Amino acid sequence: MTPVLALQDVHKSFGPIEVLHGIDFALRSGEVHALIGENGAGKSTIMKILGGFLTPTSGQVLLDGQPAPYRSGAEAEAAGVVVIHQEFNLAPDLTVAQNVFLGREPGRFLLDHRAMRRETQALLDQLDCRVSPDARIRDLAVSDRQMVEIAKALGRKARVLIMDEPSAVLTHREVEVLFRQIDRLRASGVALLYTSHRLDEVRHLADRITVLRDGAVVRQALRGELTEDGMATAMVGRDLKDIFPPRRDSFGPVVLEVQGFSVPPVVQDVSFTLRRGEVLGISGLVGSGRTELAEGLVGLRTHRGSLRREGQAITLHSTADAAAHGLAYLTEDRKELGLLLDKSLRENLTLSTLGRFGRLMISRPAEETALTRAIEDFDIRAPRRDMAVGNLSGGNQQKLLLAKTMLPDPQIVIIDEPTRGIDIGTKSQIYHFIDRLARDGLSVIVISSDMPEILGLSDRVLVMRQGRVAGELQGDAITETAVVRLVMGTTEEATADA
């Protein structure tokens, strides 16, 4: 059978650097083809070439066995090749319906808004998504924006659907809905390209798997031929038995006491303590109040309740107040809230601590010295120090954001979704960075939707449900079953401190 869409001996260079080395790759009707690899392996470049956003330096893109007729993303969509980007491609000031139909609005002289709303509602119903077609994108949660992106793609009647990390920000329920839609599309003959760092998803969905490493295909396999461990080993070129660092077994005194803490209208009456050298995990469904709690703790949201830092009452009205008391927060949204994607590594690293580099004049040599240390300490890999951060891989962006967060030398660090959208090799690095912080005497709060991450990193786990602490787990009581029961509210028992 002739593939619907294929790459034939494709090379791609940016300036003198070749990033793809002779790629052969094919998508077939009615098949899910997973493309996996570490950040920087070349996945995004391949997807952009297939979707018409980049042209190969050499080699061919073939559509139905013939040279692809498109030279842009819009032309590719017209030919039936649709891409769901990892970075949202939505207009924040427009409604959901206007985004779904952007560029193909019905009506000749006047837009048929009623038809747009009706068809958008049908697509949202198909995805079991409760968002209104009239809602503004800017007012939606991140997971709802992803569902709008998927609805937008479904409305384009694709022959080929390219999905870049579509589940990274979705809840468990939304992922199940997404999988049902993928099964429906596969049964209808659509060719699907699926990329994900969640290898359990790849194992569940993929009919065929291609593994990339350093811009080259290193392994191709059919369903069932690769275990998750086999995929990880192929991706990184080494065994990854020790993804998580060993458990810590000793902690210092309490450094933070939180009592009756509320962040209206989401978080109510949360209390907990945090010890020196401890990693405290916070688990819960999206919408349970985890991020709102973190933002309240560092002065980003209005809050009520009591905070004590090493026994002394403190008041935090801003991130400056938080920094003065040694608290720092790493946001879950590195692209919109954490980094300036069009600025260099140096500018991003030092922006929030410029006072450390001079009062009247900023010392460029001092900034460069700080950047050199950050690159070494956090293994940030960039072809050039002056390149725009938006051109770094997701893993290297996250390492830079971690370096930026640590530059003021905080003693308490809150890290929200530390490895979202990051490959397994870089995940392991970040886990060991977090462990190093704890072993150096810092206190770390990790908020994560990734169950293995919570189980593998945490010394204690707080489980949040509907804005409250549903329970606390410690030691051998930290199990997937115990966390899930508290998350879902299926038990009245909150396992006490061990």
Would you list the domain boundaries of the chain? Answer: 5-236, 254-488
What pLDDT sits at residue 410?
96
What pLDDT sits at residue 461?
97
What pLDDT sits at residue 185?
87
SS3 for the chain, per residue? CCCCEEEEEEEEEECCEEEEEEEEEEECCCCEEEEECCCCCCHHHHHHHHCCCCCCCEEEEEECCEECCCCCHHHHHHCCEEEECCCCCCCCCCEHHHHHCCCCCCCCCCCCHHHHHHHHHHHHHHCCCCCCCCCEHHHCCHHHHHHHHHHHHHCCCCCEEEEECCCCCCCHHHHHHHHHHHHHHHHCCCEEEEECCCHHHHHHHCCEEEEEECCEEEEEEECCCCCHHHHHHHHHCCCCCCCCCCCCCCCCCEEEEEEEEEECCCEEEEEEEEECCCEEEEECCCCCCHHHHHHHHCCCCCCEEEEEECCEEECCCCHHHHHHCCEEEECCCHHHHHCCCCCCHHHHHHHHHHHHHCCCCCCHHHHHHHHHHHHHHHCCCCCCCCCCHHHCCHHHHHHHHHHHHHCCCCCEEEEECCCCCCCHHHHHHHHHHHHHHHHCCCEEEEECCCHHHHHHHCCEEEEEECCEEEEEEEHHHCCHHHHHHHHHCCCCCCCCCC
What pLDDT sits at residue 368?
95
What pLDDT sits at residue 12?
94
What pLDDT sits at residue 177?
83
For the chain, which ranges sit under pLDDT 50? Answer: 492-498
What pLDDT sits at residue 391?
86
What pLDDT sits at residue 281?
97
The CATH class for the domain spanning 5-236 reads alpha beta
Q: What are phi and psi of 278, to 5 degrees?
A: -110, 145
What pLDDT sits at residue 491?
52
What pLDDT sits at residue 112?
84
Which listed CATH number (1.10.10.10, 3.40.50.1860, 3.40.50.300, 3.30.43.10) goes with 254-488? 3.40.50.300
Residues 212-255 pLDDT 10s: 988 999 999 999 999 888 888 888 776 656 788 988 888 999 99
What pLDDT sits at residue 141?
79
What pLDDT sits at residue 497?
41
| pTM for this model (two decimals) | 0.67
